Amino acid sequence: MEEQLVETMSSDLPRSVAKGVTWMSSCLPFHLADRVIHGHNSTYLVQGEHSSILVDTGNPSSWPIISSTLDELLDGRELSYVFPTHPELPHTGNLPRLVEKYPNIQVVGDIRDYHLFYPQIVPNLHAKVPGDKVDLGGQEFVVVEALIRDLPNTQWGFAPGAGVLFTADGFCYMHRPELDDEDPVHLPGECGLTTGELQVPIAVENAAFFTGSALYWARFANDADAVYDRVLHLIDELGVTSVAPTHGNFISNIRDVEPIIRAGHKRAYRYETAQP
């Protein structure tokens, strides 16, 4: 069967998942021989009283549905900010379209390299560093150091009023043991479910497979405990109640999910016997 590579928005979404935070996930359908599976590619809209910020942009192939969803959620207001977590197509691919639609939008975050990829949006680029805050009116968005990342110019974000930590490719996972794709996947009908609502829990082998593929360095760096201890410290320090990854379901029970992801990350390391 011909591979379908056009993303669609699940009918279960957009969905409000915390105060002022809306989960807008488009899904990439993969047509396997005997079934269809989906891959989340989420964006999140954080809305305050006078401004809003979009976390990640989604793939260009999902732009029409993202654009119309923004129209619906913003109800005639301009989108003030977009926070691309890092410059890969699923996270930044719609930046030119967002600037065209909202000419005054501020692209905030670690914007190194963007002038080389998107020279036409240079006036919209505004560098931020961890600790910087964006006031949305009764709602803040705080830039946070990315503790799990692939590209070095990755940042996380946090909405204190909602308790939501936005982790880009961190905490991405698939949760079906029988699935065999390296991308974080789920079945149709599960697109809009939180991890607390999933009937089949995440398995360590799924987390290991995804981590070893998408966070390739986990094969070589045997430091999962150090990484996830820092993450837990950050969660405690900020008062995180839920985690919003770009790929994978919204995590409503982070204390249950973190040990599984940590164990999977440990298992992804390949050279245990090579250690002195």
Least CB distance from residue 117 to other proteins, whole Å? 4
Among 84, 212, 248, 264, binds other proteins (CB under 8 A): 212
Which residue carries 């990640």 as its tokens? 56
Q: Which of 207, 254, 233, 262 is nearest to 17 (CA)?
A: 254
Strands (E), 129-230: 133-135, 140-145, 155-159, 164-166, 185-186
What x-and-dash track marks residues 104-133 binding other proteins by CB under 8 A? Answer: ------x-xx-xxxxx--------------
Nearer to other proteins, 138 or 152 (CB): 152
CB of 163 to other proteins, least distance (A): 29
Task: Round to whole Å and give the CA distance between 141 and 46.
Answer: 8
Provide the minimum distance between the beta carbon of 16 and other proteins in the complex, in angstroms, as a whole number. 28
Residues 22-51 that bind other proteins (CB under 8 A): 28, 39
Task: Report which DSSP code applies to 251.
Answer: B
* Alpha helix (H) residue ranges in 3-88: 63-74
| Part of the chain binding other proteins (CB under 8 A), chosen from 49-57, 131-139, 208-216, 251-259 | 208-216
- In angstroms, give the least distance from the CB of 249 to other proteins: 18
Q: State how far the alpha carbon of 225 is from the alpha carbons of 44, 172, 251, 264, in Å.
A: 29, 17, 20, 11
For residue 173, the minimal CB distance to other proteins (Å) is 13
**What Cα–Cα distance (Å) separates residue 195 from each residue in 44, 58, 198, 240, 253?**
16, 21, 5, 15, 7
Place of tokens 């946070």: 144
Query: Does residue 263 bind other proteins (CB under 8 A)?
Result: no
Contact 191, 10 (CB under 8 A): yes
Q: Does 145 bind other proteins (CB under 8 A)?
A: no
Query: Which CA distances in Å does 168 have to 215, 232, 240?
Result: 12, 16, 15
Among 45, 183, 257, 265, binds other proteins (CB under 8 A): 183
Answer yes or no whether residue 187 interacts with other proteins by CB under 8 A.
no
Instruction: Find the shortest distance in angstroms from Cβ 212 to other proteins.
Output: 6
Minimum Å gap between C-beta 209 and other proteins is: 6
Question: Rule CB under 8 A: is residue 239 a binding residue for other proteins?
Answer: no
Site of interaction with other proteins (CB under 8 A): 3, 5-6, 28, 39, 59-61, 87-90, 92-93, 97, 110, 112-113, 115-119, 150-153, 182-183, 209, 212-213, 216-217, 220-223, 271, 274-275
